[in-house]
Amino acid sequence: MSRLSVRLRAALVATAVVALALGAVAAVLAWTLTSSFTASASADAERRATQAATLFGVQGSVSMLEGGTPDPDVQVTTQTGPDWGAGYATATHTVSTGAGPSLTIQARSSLTPARDALTALRPMLYVGIPTLLLVVGGVTWLLVGRALAPVSAMRATFADITARDLHQRVPIPRSRDEVNRLARTLNATLDRLEHAMERHKRFVADAAHELRSPIATLRTRLELGRREAPALTREALTDVVRLQGLAADLLLLARLDAGEPLRAEEVDLGQVATEEALKSRGRDVSINLDIATDVVVAGSRSQLGRMVANLVDNAVRHAASAVTVRVAAPGTVEVSDDGPGIPAEHRESVFGRFTRLDEARARDAGGSGLGLAIARDIAQAHGGTLSVVPDRSEGACLRADLCC
């Protein structure tokens, strides 16, 4: 029952409680009615027996009473009274005649009215109780639904709130009850969460901005000193380039987290994919293109280019000999390689920030673990998805669907 909704549970519990109460009331009513009619019939039988005994006392004649009373429900005998069955209430008086034997005066009163009343009551109970239970269940369902309507509105709003859209707040009902206090508590929590997220985003953006200037200056100085110590300068420049790329990645992530609106335009996805794939040629891996024409999507050309570049760069670093870039309508980009592939248990974790698989760390010295995270964020910012294509015989394939 714990899996049922609060509304349904409340309706079921209310109906069950009322059903038990009505069952008890019906049983008490039937017992009371039966007892009342039985007592009334017994009193009537006692009255008739008393009248017959009084009549004997007045008349004083056995011949007038014995077996000859005008009331068929009263019998006077010198023996045990007649057996009238279970359908009657009876009363018995014994009258002494003096010289003769004692007389037994027995009167009866029918219990048929009690049975008729119960017979008439049963259909009313059989129809009335289920009808009343349906009314109770329906009214409870409606009332609990109205009481929980603000909670449903809060749940729907809260479900739409994401890390990129923390400015929304749950509606506060006008009532001054627990639901009102719950809404205020949720909004206060969202205020604190939004403030913390804003501070985090500002910190990442400020850190990235602060890193870019000294890194650029250091790179310039190293390039100027390349003649004096070429080997040492080459290694230092490689590290500086990686730091520069990391700073750029952090800045882009900060912008994506902030939910900055896209400067949307019509982008030829095939052209963008081709340009980014050609930039990766010249390495030890061949780049194969399968590009459909006229695949146009709305979005940021620079961000979509960055998404494709990250996917291609990831595939090149892990491929054994070849990488294939495929673009298909309405807005699908697939980048596959013939490398070791991605284990099933890591098909989601590879999109985490600063996440690199253990087997990739030994051979992937250039990655920072942000490429796929940035690519997925860009795809989601364009209303799409990015995921690992399952059930491949060899290598890995990542698919971005931008028109989902």
pLDDT at 174 (0 to 100): 80
Angstrom CA distances, 77 to 58, 83, 225, 276, 392, stand at 18, 13, 143, 123, 107
Low-confidence residues of the chain, pLDDT below 70? 1-3, 56-71, 78-85, 97-101, 162-165, 204-205, 208-210, 226, 229, 232, 258-260, 282, 356-368, 404
Q: Give the CA angle between residues 26, 31, 37 to the nearest 5°.
A: 125
Class of CATH domain 265-401: alpha beta
d(CA 373, CA 365): 18
Q: Where are the domains positioned within the chain?
A: 6-135, 178-258, 265-401
pLDDT at res. 360: 47
On whether the CB atoms of residues 164 and 257 are closer than 8 A, the answer is: yes
Per-residue confidence (pLDDT) for residue 200, from 0 to 100: 73
DSSP state of 346: G
Taking CA 76 as the corner, what is the angle to CA 72 and CA 82, rounded to the nearest 5 degrees? 75
Q: Which residues of 127-147 are buried (b: 16+ CB within 10 A; e: fewer)?
A: eebeeebeebbeebbeebeeb
Fold of 178-258: Helix Hairpins (1.10.287)
List the Cα angle 108/111/113 in 5-degree steps. 130
178-258 and 265-401 agree in CATH topology = no
pLDDT of residue 363: 42
- The pLDDT, as a whole number, for residue 83 is 63
Task: Give, as one character, the DSSP assignment of residue 317.
Answer: H
Cα separation, 254 vs 189, in Å, equals 22
Q: What are phi and psi of 382, to 5 degrees?
A: -95, 15
User: Would you state the structure tokens that stand for residue 62, as one six-digit string?
Assistant: 């056995």
Q: Bridge-partner residues for 310, per DSSP?
A: none
Residue 273: per-residue pLDDT: 93
Structure confidence at residue 388 (pLDDT):
92
